[in-house]
Amino acid sequence: MGYAVRIESAEVVITSPGRNFVTLRIVTEDGVTGLGDATLNGRELAVASYLRDHVVPLLLDRDASRIEDTWQYLYRGAYWRRGPVTMAAIAAVDTALWDIKAKAARMPLYQLLGGASRSGALAYGHASGRDVPELLDSIRAHLEQGYRAIRVQTGIPGLASVYGVASSSAGGGERYDYEPARRGSGSRVLPAEESWDTRAYLRHVPTVFEAVRREFGPELPLLHDGHHRMTPIQAARLGKALEPYDLFWLEDATPGEDQAALRLIRQHTTTPLAIGEVFNHVHDYTTLLSERLIDYVRSAVTHTGGVTAMRKLLDLAAVYGIKSGIHGPTDISPVGMAAALHLDLAIHNFGIQEYMPHTADTLEVFRTSFRFEDGLLHPSDTPGLGVELDTEAAGRFPYQPAYLPVNRLADGTVHDW
């Protein structure tokens, strides 16, 4: 059977240094520790329970070196396949096992994935503002921080709060530069509710990009997230209207579960399309890839079955000339971000990496070695993922219920966000 190393323990750690994270910590009989991110924003305890009650008992005494076999064992053995809770749990196990294998090999993970294909991963930052002047200031601040690509989000006239805009007024008026699910007060926490008007949004957004291009010129890569709020024909209209401003991509224009919608959008616009942060399996992509209906895969390692599954997904995307754009805001822990960066460095069809720096409290809990320099991210050459968990610090930040906002139309109907 060759070399084998037994899994001696597996622990689920829940911590909330500004926002909630779920981490799986696996330790082998020879003392090597591996970490996996299992965070599912707003539904963290569901994954924690899945891991603690159903997965951890299956891991003890298994061979930590058999990563593919363990992945298939957990996926096929459960009978109930796919879904965000299941796939986040499997992702945590898979990523932790890759961390262990790379540490045992005394190599950074990207070396085990075939070595570096580039010197660093181009990252984009999140610029936003309640109005155009505030947005332009935010873009300038991100450029000063070294970003070479910028996601542009803005408030909409007539709407008090818009998800993805850091200075929106929902949740008490505080800024939320780290896009957390909102925490409430008292014994019962409910999602914040925001009003939405798609027609106002469609009128406003092209004028915003006109102003941004006028200020910053044609070279700066610009991205925009529609947050699933449009119908297919509305998304087609927006994509067409944004063509003069040469977007790097238009993201999540329509609800992700309606793959046929992308056919209609594609027929009407040449604006590049990205989707997938709510997907959790390669089968969510098969139509989109084979028919070339998107340009960028937006899944996260954390939510899509880990390093093993994401590598297979991105290799399949490469067959169709489709690139990566791995999900990476701060609802992905530093463990999940590090896993993404090792893939970014290794794969051939890298496109861009989403990046929002974590808070100081988060970086007290998760000791990272990846770096951001001159617009590029690098996972570092530390063996394994290059992230360590300070369990004592984690214990100082107990879980707090928090939820993403709910959107309602003017008539009170709950709407996609």
SS3 322: coil
Q: What angle do CA 163, 15, 69 make, to 5 degrees?
A: 95
Question: 398, 358, 325: which is closest to 177 by C-alpha?
Answer: 358
357: left (phi over 0), alpha (psi -120 to 50) or beta: beta
| Triad 101, 105, 111: Cα angle to 5° | 85
163, 245, 296, 355: the catalytic one is: 163
What residues contact residue 304 under an 8 Å CB cut-off, 6+ apart?
Answer: 87, 91, 279, 280, 281, 310, 313
Residue type, 104: A
Active site residue 163: yes
Token pair recorded at residue 399: 């879980």
Whole-number Å distance between alpha carbons of 328 and 334: 9
- The angle that helices 198-216 and 132-144 make with each other, rounded to 10 degrees, is 50
Q: In the structure encoding, which two tokens stand for residue 112, read together?
A: 């085990």
Of 142, 224, 227, 378, the catalytic one is: 227
Spatial distance between the Cα atoms of 292 and 260, rounded to a whole number of angstroms:
12
Positive/negative CA dihedral, 228, 232, 234, 235 = positive
How far from 8 is each of 31, 112, 308, 315, 396, CA to CA, in Å? 9, 24, 22, 33, 26
The answer to whether 314 and 347 are in contact (CB under 8 A) is yes
75 among known catalytic residues: no
Name, in order, each residue with C-beta under 8 angstroms of 8's C-beta and a sequence gap of 6 or more: 27, 28, 29, 60
Q: What one-letter code names the amino acid at 317?
A: A
- List, by residue number, the catalytic residues: 163, 227
